[in-house]
Structure 1
Amino acid sequence: MVMAAAPEMRASDGDRDRVAAALREHVAEGRLTIDEFNERLEQVYQSRTYGELATLTSDLPAIDLHRLPAAVAPAGRPGPARRDGKAQGSVKSAWSAWAAASAVSWMIWLLSTVASGHLIPPWPMWVMGPWGVILLIKTVSDRGGQSRRDT
């Protein structure tokens, strides 16, 4: 992840969100476990400077979020037709990242509701709902593609 030249400069919410997105991609690629992801994600949102954010990804390769490696297929070649479990593993990783982010969101909502003394609308549904629907469609379409290749 490319950071500004001055590590002592204050980071914005957008900077923290970009680092969080990169960490989610590293989980999906299998470079981080869910526990490591949760630990680093907590540190991301506590970080104040570019330098603090840079240390959270310093041991990971850079990811261009506009051109994700998993989403780019080589030109002139169809998607993989093999069934070695690699595609299934990335779907499992994506579901794991979804579950972790959902759990963190629900815990924040619960703590906020308890601390405020009144029921706060369940905003975590907006985090997990669209993401979960997309993952569900991807999971179902991947399984459908496998059964068509088997025949």
Structure 2
Amino acid sequence: MIDDLYSARLLRLAAEMPRAGRLAQPDATSEKVSKLCGSRVVVDVKVEDGHVADFAQDVKACALGQAAASVLGAHVIGASLQELESTRDAFRSMLKAGGPAPEGRFGDLALLAPVKDYPARHTSTLLAFEAVAEAVRHAVERRA
């Protein structure tokens, strides 16, 4: 059971964190923290024409949170606010309600489907997507 959760592919994702660090002058920043485990994600974004043009993340999380952030970092450039929010919502539904995995550029989140059986891990697994959706929303609102 727990072995299904921490597959070799998931652990490899967690170890390979694309876009780690911080941006010098982001359009917006968001920080999310899991009160249960202390996992923390800070994301910085630059947005152009409603799409993510640059992105960086500082992730201090468990392997599950790191794996989700890794999928985000690998595919976030070019994503719109609508795409990020729908991915976040589908990801949350997959974990909390057994819904289908997100599709498209963030389809690798399907690797995290076994997390649905571990409710205490949901928040830390969702942090990066919660943070990026908030940051992009703030950036878009500031430009409007």
Same fold (TM over 0.5): no
User: Comparing both structures, which one devotes a greater share of its residues to strand?
Assistant: 2
**TM interval, short-chain normalised:** 0.3 to 0.5
Report the TM-score when normalising by structure 1: 0.34
Q: Which has the higher contact order (CA 8 A, sep 6+)?
A: 2
Report the TM-score when normalising by structure 2: 0.36
